[in-house]
Structures are given as structure tokens and as C-alpha cells.
């Protein structure tokens, strides 16, 4: 893939993702550059004086750089949200680069505040999402470079590299701070631990299995 095609793909992805209805409140001014070092808490971010804004507030460099996937999951998610680009505050959009080692996995997770649109740049990915109760229907597809797939807001979804080479994807998300809940980490790696009485009944498994799962180190592949 040439550099030109790479950046055209990214540009198209971000333009497309702006068409998704944002889950964040609409801005009331041209922009509201976030103040990330405030000690006060609001639903979102405080704004800096717009007269003090600079081009760097709307800029992020390095998305072209491959990330380290030497971890148990074989994947690495590089977030580009309001923390990395303060100018995204109130704009209802963010992005991410996802690197996959051969057969690497971005495990089942949800974004509680955002729909995700994913485009594959390199490799082949088996992707899917599961609908809500009671149907719990599974929608899956194998994606190749240039293919696009959408994960509706809040639904559990995943991506698995099914090739023996590295894979790369870029995601656009309809929130400045989409959040991520990795299912295994949340259920078996919570702090403090969820009662084994709850988990044995919920998953219909033996307590020894719950004890084993809760004793594991649940890797966080989001950076």
C-alpha cells in the first residue's frame, strides 16, 4: 500500500465517521480546546481561552508508526481522543490505530459512548459483534485491505487477525471519549473481585474455574 493510498484511506475514514450521530453534546462555539490538567470535574472537559488556542491543540503525530504487539493478546490499540488532541473536546469524534501480530486478537469489548467504524489497511481480520438480549445474534465478516465494518454503539465486538502476517486497522468513533470495557478484564479482573457466588451462577461453572480465571493477569491492550 502506497503512502498516498494510506493517508487517503485515513481521511475518508474520518470524514465518514463524522456522518455518524455523535453521542456527545453539540458544541456551542467554533471549538472548545480541552484543559486536561484541571483538578475540577465536569461532564467532558473545561475549555481554554480560545484566544490561547494553537494549531498543536488540533494535532497528533505518529499514527503511521507501528506499535509493539509483543503481549499475550498480540494487539495494541493507540487511542487518539480528547486526551491526545485537546481540540476534539465537544466535537463528538475520535480515532484509534490497532496493530495486530499474526493471529493477534483485540478481545471482546464495548465502547459505552460510541459507534465504531473500522477500516483495514493491512492484513485480514475476522471481526464481529453480538446484539443485545434476548437474541444475542452474532454478525461476523472477514475483512481485507480497504474493507470497512461498523460496530453499533455499546455492543460487544472483537477483531482477530486470521493471517500469518501483521495487520493494521484504523477506527473512527463517535465520541471524544468513547470509553472501552474489555469483557474478560471487567468480569474476572475487577478490583475488588466480583463474588465467586455471582460468577459461578452467572456462568454456570465450578468455583475452581472462577478462582483460576480471577487469578490471571488480564492484559490491557489500550494505550
User: What tens digit of pLDDT does each residue of 74-83 get?
Assistant: 999 999 999 9
* Backbone φ, ψ for residue 187 (5° rounding): -80, -45
Q: What is the DSSP letter of 193?
A: P
Q: What is the pLDDT of residue 45?
A: 86
Does residue 20 carry a pLDDT above 60?
no
Given a cut of 60, whether residue 22 has pLDDT beyond it is: no
- State the average pLDDT over residues 79-101: 95
* pLDDT for the residue 24: 76
CA distance 155 to 133: 11
The answer to whether residue 18 scores a pLDDT higher than 60 is no
* pLDDT tops 70 at residue 21: no
Specify the pLDDT at position 19.
47
Q: Flag whether pLDDT at 37 surpasses 90.
A: no
Residues 6+ apart with CB under 8 A from 172: 13, 14, 16, 17, 20, 93, 94, 95, 116, 117
Q: pLDDT-derived band of residue 13, with 50, 70 and 90 as boundaries?
A: low
Amino acid at each position: 500500500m502506497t503512502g498516498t493510498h494510506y493517508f487517503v484511506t485515513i481521511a475518508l475514514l474520518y470524514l465518514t465517521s463524522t456522518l455518524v450521530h455523535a453521542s456527545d453534546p453539540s458544541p456551542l462555539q467554533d471549538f472548545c480546546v480541552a484543559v486536561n490538567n484541571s483538578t475540577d470535574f465536569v461532564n467532558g472537559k473545561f475549555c481554554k481561552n480560545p484566544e490561547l488556542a494553537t494549531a498543536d491543540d488540533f494535532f497528533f503525530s505518529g499514527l503511521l508508526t507501528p506499535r509493539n504487539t509483543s503481549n499475550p493478546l498480540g494487539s495494541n490499540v493507540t487511542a487518539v481522543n480528547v486526551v491526545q488532541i485537546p481540540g476534539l473536546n465537544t466535537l463528538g469524534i475520535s480515532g484509534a490505530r490497532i496493530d495486530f501480530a499474526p493471529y493477534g486478537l483485540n478481545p471482546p469489548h464495548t465502547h459505552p459512548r460510541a459507534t465504531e467504524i473500522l477500516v483495514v489497511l493491512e492484513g485480514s481480520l475476522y471481526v464481529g459483534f453480538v446484539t443485545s438480549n434476548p437474541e444475542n445474534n452474532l454478525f461476523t465478516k472477514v475483512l481485507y485491505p480497504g474493507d470497512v465494518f461498523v460496530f453499533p454503539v455499546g455492543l460487544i465486538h472483537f477483531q482477530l487477525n486470521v493471517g500469518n502476517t501483521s495487520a493494521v486497522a484504523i477506527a473512527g468513533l463517535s465520541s471524544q471519549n468513547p470509553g472501552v470495557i474489555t469483557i474478560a478484564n471487567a468480569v474476572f479482573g475487577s478490583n475488588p473481585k466480583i463474588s465467586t457466588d455471582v460468577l459461578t451462577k452467572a456462568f454456570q461453572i465450578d468455583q475452581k474455574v472462577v478462582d483460576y480465571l480471577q487469578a490471571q493477569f488480564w492484559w490491557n491492550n489500550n494505550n
